[in-house]
A and B are shown apart, each in its own frame.
Chain A
Amino acid sequence: AQTVTQSQPEMSVQEAETVTLSCTYDTSESDYYLFWYKQPPSRQMILVIRQEAYKQQNATENRFSVNFQKAAKSFSLKISDSQLGDAAMYFCASSAYSGAGSYQLTFGKGTKLSVIP
């Protein structure tokens, strides 16, 4: 079984500043993946960044980067040069192989990010 915990229900950041969203997870699997998804008010869940657990190097995607601490089971998201369009709910999720070629996502409860102009 997997669990994902996001302890910050809401966060705010000034435009152009940097913000870090926290996430911890628990899994008994050795083969797993971690994700950050963004859900703006339009509801569409958008993949922000993906991290393979077997890779030590932290993933980056333009202004988005993660700090993956495997031993601590921590997976935080850093957003640099925050923009108004970054305002959304951010969900941390884990995915592990669950048999029969299947991966299923387990989500945290989300962090609502506000960007202040």
Chain B
Amino acid sequence: DAGVTQSPTHLIKTRGQQVTLRCSPKSGHDTVSWYQQALGQGPQFIFQYYEEEERQRGNFPDRFSGHQFPNYSSELNVNALLLGDSALYLCASSSHMRLDQETQYFGPGTRLLVL
């Protein structure tokens, strides 16, 4: 049973650049959520995708955008990178068809460093 996978594991960018992070959900899951975890903090909700549409969004600027593909995988895009975007980006998946649809399972994360 494949778990949630994310790529790349690490990424270094410079201010003003754009970045794309990728996530494949756990087998059988159709919903993907993205979180930003700054150093020493708990994860903060960015947005959630289901049926290829953004369903919910946290308090993040429009520079953060996403996409979900028909195979349920997802991308997180960040434009005009700022130093403050340096963080661990976590992807989590869940299934709206399951009784535990509120339970999310996480991938290993992508560590983004903005210089």
Q: Is A42 an interface residue (CB 8 A)?
A: yes
Chain A proximity of B4: nearest CB distance (Å) = 9
Residue of B45, B92, B103 near A50 (CB, 8 A) is B103
List A residues 102-117 near B (Cβ within 8 Å). Answer: 102-110
Contacts known (A44-B108, A103-B94); A108 close to B42, Cβ less than 8 A = yes
A35 and B106 form a contact (CB under 8 A): no
- Contact of B43 (CB < 8 Å), options: A45, A47, A98: A45
In this complex, what residue of B is CB-closest to A108? B42
Stretch at the interface among B12-20, B48-56, B63-71, B78-86: B48-56
**Interface residues of A: mostly helix, strand, loop or mixed?**
strand
* Distance, CA A102 to CA B33, complexed state (A): 10
Asked if B60 is an interface residue, CB under 8 A from chain A, the answer is no
Q: How distant is B71 from chain A, measured CB to nearest CB, in Å?
A: 20
- Contact, CB under 8 Å: B56 / A104: yes
| Chain A residues positioned under 8 Å from B106 (CB to CB) | 37, 44-47
Minimum C-beta distance from A80 to chain B (A)? 23
Q: Is the CB of A95 within 8 A of B108?
A: no
A96 nearest CB neighbor, chain B only: B102
Interface size for chain A: under 10, 10 to 19, 20 to 34, or 35 or more residues? Answer: 20 to 34
Assess whether A103 is in contact with B108, with CB atoms less than 8 Å apart: no
> How distant is the Cα of A68 from the Cα of B98 in the complex, in angstroms?
24
A50-B100, A102-B55, A102-B56 known; 12 new pairs, CB 8 Å cut-off, are: A42-B108, A44-B106, A45-B90, A47-B105, A91-B42, A101-B50, A101-B101, A103-B102, A104-B45, A105-B35, A105-B43, A110-B42
Q: Which residues of A contact B (CB under 8 A)?
A: 4, 33, 35, 37, 42-47, 50, 91, 93, 95, 97-110
Q: Which residues of B contact A (CB under 8 A)?
A: 33, 35, 40-45, 48, 50, 55-56, 58, 88, 90, 92, 94, 96, 100-109, 111
